[in-house]
């Protein structure tokens, strides 16, 4: 269990709301749907109502500071079945990248799973420990500039490496990546989001991870999560 999963959830009952995609940049078709992720009748382009409002505010702030730039939505709502699919897919990708097979020792497999779970939440169906994206309160985003070109962040979304850590490029001169990540972080943070400790692209508002981070920063103002899993 990760530390944030110990945060109590007091579900507020706020509905999932369709993201107005015309206001943002979007990768189409959706990257996980291309891989065959089992969304069924669900859509990745939904967020809880207040989370969506905050994202729209972040977009407005970005465009005020950088006219013509847009937030690009990579992924938002994710059913637990999709979380399971992507975790399994990622494990297989890491296995192949290292030239290993499922015949390797149990110890090696456990080490690979630890690597995967640095970045991916456990696809838990337990209502007390939902994956952040399954609550409709987490969103994976990047930026595009005024020409519609993707802003280079120094690593791809979902990359399983240290380069994905938000501050990886902090003290590395002659590169724009940290500055770009800070632009994204600043507009999202000003709207109320908090960034995943290991992922420059993942932001949440109101879920367990957000509440846990909030409490680390503001121990005298402890909060609970207000969004649980939505199926």
Distance CA 88, CA 162 (A): 20
Query: Each residue of 27-46: b (16+ CB within 10 Å) or e?
Result: eeebbbeeeebebeebebbb
CB 42, CB 13: distance < 8 Å: no
Contacts of 95 (CB under 8 A, 6+ apart): 101, 102, 112
The verdict on whether 93 is a catalytic residue reads no
**Which strand (E) or helix (H) includes residue 73?**
strand 70-75
Catalytic residue among 115, 159, 199, 231: 199
Nearest alpha-carbon partner for 195 in 143, 126, 132, 114: 132
**Residue 152, both tokens:** 């280079």
**Which strand (E) or helix (H) includes residue 18?**
strand 16-18
Q: Which residues are catalytic?
A: 199
């Amino acid at each position: 269990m990760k530390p944030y999963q110990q945060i109590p959830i007091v579900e507020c009952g706020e509905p999932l709301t369709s993201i107005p995609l015309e206001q943002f940049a979007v990768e189409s078709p959706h990257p996980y749907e291309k891989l065959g992720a089992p969304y069924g009748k669900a859509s990745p382009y939904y967020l809880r109502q207040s989370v969506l409002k905050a994202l729209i505010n972040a977009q407005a702030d970005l465009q005020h500071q950088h006219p013509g730039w847009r937030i690009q939505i990579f992924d938002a709502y994710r059913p637990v079945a999709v979380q399971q699919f992507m975790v399994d897919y990622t494990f297989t990708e890491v296995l192949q990248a290292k030239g290993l097979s499922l015949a390797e020792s149990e110890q090696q497999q456990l080490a690979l799973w630890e690597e995967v779970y640095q970045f991916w939440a456990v696809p838990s169906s337990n209502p007390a420990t939902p994956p952040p994206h399954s609550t409709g309160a987490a969103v994976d985003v990047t930026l595009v500039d005024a020409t519609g070109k993707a802003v280079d962040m120094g690593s791809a979304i979902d990359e399983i490496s240290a380069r994905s850590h938000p501050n990886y490029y902090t003290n590395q001169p002659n590169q724009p990546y940290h500055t770009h990540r800070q632009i994204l972080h600043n507009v999202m943070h000003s709207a109320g989001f908090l960034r995943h400790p290991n992922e420059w692209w993942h932001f949440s508002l109101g879920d367990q991870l957000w509440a846990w981070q909030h409490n680390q920063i503001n121990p005298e103002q402890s909060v609970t999560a207000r969004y649980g899993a939505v199926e």
